[in-house]
Amino acid sequence: MSLSQNDAPLYEALLEYKENRIVSFDVPGHKQGKGNSELTNFLGKQCMSVDVNSMKPLDNLCHPVSVIKEAQELAAEAFGAAHAFFMVNGTSSAVQAMVMSVCKRGEKIIMPRNVHRSSINALIVCGAVPVYVDPGLNTQLGIPLGMAVEDVQRAIDENPDAKAVIVNNPTYYGVCSNLREIVKIAHKAGMKVLVDEAHGTHFYFGDYMPLAAMRVGADMSAVSMHKTGGSLTQSSILLLGESMNAGYVRQIINLTQTTSGSYLLTSSLDISRRNLALNGKRIFENVTMLANYGRSEVNKLGGYYAFSRELINGDTVFDFDPTKLSIHTRDIGLAGIEVYDLLRDKYEIQIEFGDIGNILAIISVGDRILEVERLVAALSEIKRLYSKTSAGLLDHEYIKPIVVCSPQDAFYNEKVQLPIEETVGKVCAEFVMCYPPGIPILAPGELVTKDSLDYILYAKKKGATLLGTEDMNTEKLNVLK
């Protein structure tokens, strides 16, 4: 029987499982919720009844041969990929699987330095060596942009033995590089192209969106369905192009992904894929309308700058994600993290993140115009009540790294823990980052500079959540001996 995008085979198999009233002598031990009434009352009987173990009628995520296989095939078709894997360890595990599928210890991989920490984590695990391409920088906003094609070409020319190029599509702020041209020049050099599309699910389904990875011939893409596609948190999809060996990639995935794949997560991927395949154009037309409305209203307030496609320059900003409500705050005298905290603590509004000079509000399938209007009203009041001079505010997000050794060598080498103020000139042996977005300020193997230290101390002072260090208070830093 041939399937269409109207079908959801994994979801339908779970419905049939429920109707059969199976007596369970397997895990999980709560036995469809009967063993933990408090948890069942909190999450609901419907949820607990399908939190089940792999079994023949429900297939196995590690080696799918029936309903999960069919669900993944429908996902591949919907995204225009040769193959798709359901991921239940988040998009971080999908990014790591991409890197480890094409790189081994000592092999080079070209990437922008403003990658998510998951890419560098993969280097620590597999021992690949990064060749960083500095992203462009918007000096007005202080944010990193995309990679210039010329810079990628230079990195390829100088490192012809590199195995792959990683591209963010888009960045956290919504900026897209010239993905089609990067794929072209990388493939000409015999290199794979891996795309972090954690924030790009909607590129595959909405009209007038930036180009998606599979549409321009990229080899692999990691897509966070849960971020803008409506599935449950931690569920993701790894997409493969024709060039990749799906069986080998599955083996790489199974090195790190759980053997107890959650059917709550995988069924949410199946259901959300169907929803987007059937209704995605309408959904993301509405999402874009809401984001454009929010941008227009925020810009009417004065002081703030909600930026968008006017930044496009044909290179480091080749395109811009119109659903991103990215807002520059420094001109009202407040760091982004300060506006973030005010929105949450004073107005009960939770946005995605605030950094040194900007905030990001994610607009997606579940938003309505009333919530956007509430956000705009709160920003107006914050400006009226809390704005001040911008003197003394840090004016940039990106600090060019000085790489001394590979992330793996630094992370596993002998190290010493010092007060962070005493580490300038030392080689960092761990991560330091604001989260979100999870882009490292320092990564293992990089030199601690005065600029990076000033940034860390400034972020702490402004109330940013810093993580990655062994010291939970980020008062000490592990450096190489």
Below-50 pLDDT ranges, the chain = none
**Which single residue is written with the structure tokens 């094409």?**
102
Q: Helices 263-301 and 67-79, interaxial angle, to 10°?
A: 30
**Which single residue is written with the structure tokens 């990076």?**
452
448 DSSP 8-state letter? P
**Which single residue is written with the structure tokens 């979100």?**
436
Give the residue from 216, 218, 149, 162 showing the smallest Cα distance to 189: 162
**What is d(CA 143, CA 127) in angstroms, rounded to the nearest whole number?**
29
Domain 280-386: give its CATH code.
3.90.1150.10
Give the residue from 303, 328, 297, 279 showing the smallest Cα distance to 174: 328
* Residue 194, phi then psi, degrees to nearest 5: -110, 130
Assess contact for 294 and 306: CB atoms under 8 A: yes
Q: What is the 3-state secondary structure (H, E, C) of 87-100?
A: ECCHHHHHHHHHHH
Domain with CATH 3.90.1150.10 in the chain: 280-386
Domain with CATH 3.40.640.10 in the chain: 9-276
Give residues with Cβ within 8 angstroms of 171, minimum separation 6. Answer: 114, 135, 144, 145, 146, 199
Give strand pairing partners of 236. Answer: 87
DSSP labels, 108-172: EEEEETT--HHHHHHHHHH--EEEEEPPPEETTTTEE----HHHHHHHHHH-TT--EEEEESS-T
Assess contact for 50 and 263: CB atoms under 8 A: yes
**What is d(CA 151, CA 133) in angstroms, rounded to the nearest whole number?**
7
**What is d(CA 221, CA 166) in angstroms, rounded to the nearest whole number?**
10
* Residue 423, phi then psi, degrees to nearest 5: -100, 0
CATH superfamily membership of 407-480: Molybdopterin biosynthesis moea protein, domain 2 (3.90.105.10)
Give residues with Cβ within 8 angstroms of 36, minimum separation 6. Answer: 30
Tell me how long the chain is.
481
**What is d(CA 275, CA 81) in angstroms, rounded to the nearest whole number?**
18
Domain with CATH 3.90.105.10 in the chain: 407-480
Q: What is the predicted pLDDT for the residue at 142?
A: 85
CATH fit for domain 9-276, picks 3.40.640.10, 3.40.50.450, 3.40.50.620, 3.30.540.10: 3.40.640.10
**What is d(CA 7, CA 25) in angstroms, rounded to the nearest whole number?**
30
Q: What is the predicted pLDDT for the residue at 397?
A: 66
Q: What's this model's pTM, rounded to 2 decimal places? A: 0.94
Q: What is the predicted pLDDT for the residue at 439?
A: 85
